[in-house]
Structure 1
Amino acid sequence: MRITDIREARVSIASDIANAYISFAKMDVSVLALYTDVRVDGRRVVGYGFNSNGRYAQSGLLRERFLPRLRDADPASLLDESGRNLDPCRVWDTLMANEKPGGHGERSVAVGIVDMAVWDIVAKIEGRPLAQVLAERFGDGEADPWVPVYAAGGYYYPGKQVSALREEMRDYLELGYTCTKMKIGGVPLAEDLERVEAALEVVGDASRLAVDANGRFDLRTALTFADGLAPYGVRWYEEAGDPLDFALQQQLGEHYDPPMATGENLFSHQDARNLLRYGGMRADRDILQMDPVLGYGLVEYLRILDELRIHGWSPRQCIPHGGHQFALNIAAGLKLGGNESYPRVFAPFGGFADSTPVEEGLVALPEVPGIGFEDKRELMKVFKEHLSS
Structure 2
Amino acid sequence: MNKRRHFLKNSLMVAGALSAAPAFASEQMLNQVQPKLQSSVKDALQYINIKDIEIIKLKGDKKTPKTWNAIKTSGGKEPTATYLKITTDQGITGYTMTKGNKDDIVKYAKKIKGLNLLHTEKVWHHMFFHNRKPVAKGKEIHAIGSVDLCVWDIVGKALGLPVHTVLGTHKEQVLAYAAGGYYAEGKTASDLAKEMESYVKEGFKYVKIKVGFLDAREDAERIRTVAKAIGTDARIMVDANNGYKTAADAIRFGRMVEDLDLYWFEEPVAPDDWRGNAEVREALDIPIVAGENEYTRWGARDLVENHSCDIVNIDTIKGGGLTEMKKIAALCSAYHVGIAPHGYAHMNIHAVASIPNAMILETYPAKSRDFNPFLEPFPVKNGYVDVPTQPGLGMDIAPEILKKYRVG
TM range (shorter): 0.7 to 0.9
- Which residue matches 2:239? 212
Match of 1:4 among 42, 51, 61: 51
CA distance in 2, matches of 1:206, 1:279: 32
Match of 1:369 among 391, 397, 400: 391
Alignment of 1:77-96 (within 5 A): 78-79=115-116, 86-96=118-128
TM superposition shift of 1:268: 1.3
- Which string of whole-angstrom CA distances, capped at 9 and with x for unpartnered residues, describes residues 84-129 of structure 1? x532222223323223586621111111111111100100100011
- Which residue matches 2:289? 261
CA distance in 1, matches of 2:223, 2:300: 30
- Which string of whole-angstrom CA distances, capped at 9 and with x for unpartnered residues, describes residues 133-189 of structure 1? 110xxxxxx431100001010011222222321221122112111110100011111
Distance 1:6-1:199 versus aligned 2 partners, 3 A rule: same
- Which residue matches 1:66? 108
Q: Is the 8 A contact 2:294 2:314 kept in 1?
A: yes
TM superposition shift of 1:229: 2.0
CA distance in 1, matches of 2:136, 2:51: 31
CA distance in 2, matches of 1:244, 1:10: 32
Which deviates more, 170-179 or 23-32? 23-32
Distance 1:199-1:100 versus aligned 2 partners, 3 A rule: farther
Distance 1:210-1:196 versus aligned 2 partners, 3 A rule: same
Structure 2, gaps ≥5 residues long: 1-47
Q: Is the 8 A contact 1:10 1:57 kept in 2?
A: no
CA distance in 2, matches of 1:364, 1:256: 34
- Which string of whole-angstrom CA distances, capped at 9 and with x for unpartnered residues, describes residues 210-243 of structure 1? 0000001122211211222223221111110011
Distance 1:352-1:114 versus aligned 2 partners, 3 A rule: farther
Q: TM-score, normalised by structure 2?
A: 0.78
- Which residue matches 1:45? 92
Q: Residue 337 of structure 1 aligns to which amino acid in structure 2?
A: M
2:321 is the counterpart of 1:293 = no
- Which residue matches 2:40? none
CA distance in 2, matches of 1:241, 1:190: 18
Q: Is the 8 A contact 2:100 2:139 kept in 1?
A: no
Q: Is the 8 A contact 1:206 1:235 kept in 2?
A: no
Q: Is the 8 A contact 1:9 1:59 kept in 2?
A: no
- Which residue matches 1:321? 342
Distance 1:181-1:377 versus aligned 2 partners, 3 A rule: farther
TM superposition shift of 1:201: 2.6
Q: TM-score, normalised by structure 1?
A: 0.82
Structure 1, gaps ≥5 residues long: 39-43, 80-84, 136-141
Match of 1:21 among 71, 76, 87: 71
2:50 is the counterpart of 1:30 = no
Partner of 1:369, secondary structure, is coil
- Which residue matches 2:20? none
Distance 1:262-1:358 versus aligned 2 partners, 3 A rule: same
Partner of 2:92, secondary structure, is strand
Partner of 1:373, secondary structure, is coil
TM superposition shift of 1:386: 4.0
CA distance in 1, matches of 2:124, 2:403: 23
Q: Is the 8 A contact 2:67 2:183 kept in 1?
A: yes
- Which residue matches 1:121? 154
- Which residue matches 1:152? 179
TM superposition shift of 1:207: 6.6
Distance 1:279-1:20 versus aligned 2 partners, 3 A rule: same
- Higher Rg: 2
Q: Residue 238 of structure 1 aligns to which amino acid in structure 2?
A: E
- Which residue matches 1:241? 269
Distance 1:148-1:263 versus aligned 2 partners, 3 A rule: same
- Which string of whole-angstrom CA distances, capped at 9 and with x for unpartnered residues, describes residues 292-335 of structure 1? 1111111111221232233x225xx2111114111101111223
Match of 1:307 among 306, 331, 340: 331
Q: Is the 8 A contact 1:49 1:115 kept in 2?
A: no
Distance 1:277-1:349 versus aligned 2 partners, 3 A rule: farther
- Which residue matches 1:170? 197
- Which residue matches 1:131? 164
Count of aligned pairs: 350
2:354 is the counterpart of 1:333 = yes
Partner of 2:196, secondary structure, is helix
Distance 1:173-1:292 versus aligned 2 partners, 3 A rule: same
**What fraction of aligned residue pairs are identical, expressed as a percent?**
30
TM superposition shift of 1:11: 4.4
CA distance in 2, matches of 1:207, 1:172: 9
Q: Residue 158 of structure 2 aligns to which amino acid in structure 1?
A: I
TM superposition shift of 1:59: 1.7
Match of 2:260 among 203, 227, 232: 232
